[in-house]
Amino acid sequence: MSATLADDRTIVERILNHIDHKSTDLSSGVWHEPVDHYVSQARFSAEINRVLRRTPTPFCPSAALPDAGSYLARDAALVPIVAMRDSDGTVRAFRNACRHRGVQLVEGSGCKKALTCRYHAWTYGLDGRLRGIPDEHGFPGIDKNSYGLIPVATVEKHGMIFVTQDGPEAPDADIASMPDLFGSGWRLFTTVEQEFAANWKIVAEGFLEGYHIRSTHQDTFYPLQYDNINVIEAFGRNSRISFPYRRIEKLRSVAPAERRTAGMLTQVYHIFPNVMIATFPTNTIMTVLEPLAVDRTRLVTYTLSNLTEDREGRAAISQGRDFVTAGAAEDRDMACAAQRGLASKANHVFTFGLFEGAIRHFHQNLEAAIAIA
Ligand code: FES
Ligand SMILES: [Fe+2]
């Protein structure tokens, strides 16, 4: 795998070359992942505590917090978190619990001038500071400055809000090498949450190879896409997998320097450890895989687009999203079927072949992150 992301011209050239030679990018080795890693409670806890909570992870797209006072609350790595945009534009995330007696402050998303607890109406500013206590004389000597919401490290970068609950503040330099996927014209179209009875890594694996396109996506993606033709790149612990559409053939008649990938392929960016961003012609989706239990995962899918918000634009986005949803349902079916297969105890390891190198990269980095921490 290459160390940095290739430009459009190079990606197209590599794909056309693979089409000509009926080949695909190959990993340098087969990987065997112990099946115990998908069922062990100790392993699950290590992934949550040592990796998911310690890695700067995209919490939501910036477009989910468009205005001063916009907030979004959801659980990340089993911890209730709320991110909100202050009146000066800064986004901060906090542990979503009142400092009085711990009631969860907000649910879902919206826009407010301040957060007021439902229980006894302690009120917090958009910067998380405790602003007001009703009948404050009941708390003699209280120092309001030390009762602000508990912050978690938050960085807004590349049109995403990165949150780290317990570790380094900023995403590493590898993330900076990503192209800007969500520039200023990008808006949030929908947010969908779904829960699945599968380990989060089984769900992740479904995004990371194109070896299953023909057999799993016979009537959805396969008519438009090649089976098992991918360009796979690593950037740091992250990876990018390019899935070409058949119409990429049109670029053969375009001068190499003029070749653009937009509309010619889907690219899946795996932001280590649990976020997938996938590009489509009318929209881009960010899917956060939230592990709920060793055998249960919540997918939070944000659909964004830079098409205009008129009727035509909305119809195109809806159509594109429905198409992706149909294909994604097939992936989730496979993930749940793999989860059910665990009970058979037929396998001690899962074997990832040379086409499945991005999965190998994921497991190698996960293993290393658990070992370091
Ligand atoms: S628990 Fe929030 S004000 Fe009492
Ligand atoms: Fe798939």
The pLDDT of residue 1: 45
The pLDDT of residue 195: 97
Distance of CA 185 to the CA centre of its chain: 20
C-beta neighbour count of 82 within 10 angstroms: 25
Instruction: For residue 79, list its beta bridge partners.
Output: 76
The pLDDT of residue 130: 98
The pLDDT of residue 311: 85
| Ligand nearest to C-alpha 216 | 2
The pLDDT of residue 107: 96
C-beta neighbour count of 263 within 10 angstroms: 13
pTM over 0.75: yes
pLDDT in tens, 64-91: 999 999 999 999 999 999 999 999 999 9
What residues sit around ligand 2, an ion, with C-beta below 5 angstroms? 331
Residues of the chain with pLDDT under 70: 1-3, 373
Residues lining ligand 1, CB < 6 A? Answer: 98, 100-101, 103, 117, 119-122
Q: Where are the beta strands (DSSP E) in the chain?
A: 31-34, 57-61, 70-76, 79-85, 91-95, 109-111, 115-116, 123-124, 130-132, 151-157, 160-164, 187-196, 231-235, 238-244, 265-271, 275-279, 284-293, 296-305, 349-352
Structure tokens at 338: 């793999």
**Atom of ligand 1 minimally distant from the CA of 121:** 3
Q: Which of 36, 59, 55, 42 is nearest to 369 (CA)?
A: 55
Structure tokens at 164: 């780290």
**Biggest alpha carbon–alpha carbon distance for the chain:** 79
Q: Which of 55, 330, 54 is nearest to 196 (CA)?
A: 330
| Ligand nearest to C-alpha 327 | 2
Identify the residue whose C-alpha is closest to ligand 1 atom 1. 101
Q: Where are the beta strands (DSSP E) in 246-328?
A: 265-271, 275-279, 284-293, 296-305
Identify the residue whose C-alpha is closest to ligand 1 atom 4. 120
Question: Whose structure tokens read 């006072």?
Answer: 69
Rounded Cα distance, 23 and 370, in Å:
34
Q: Which domains does the chain have, with CATH numbers?
A: 8-55+181-372 (3.90.380.10), 57-171 (2.102.10.10)
What's the 331 CA to ligand 2 centre distance in angstroms? 5
The residue to mutate among 100, 106, 139, having the most atoms of ligand 1 within 8 angstroms of its beta carbon, is: 100
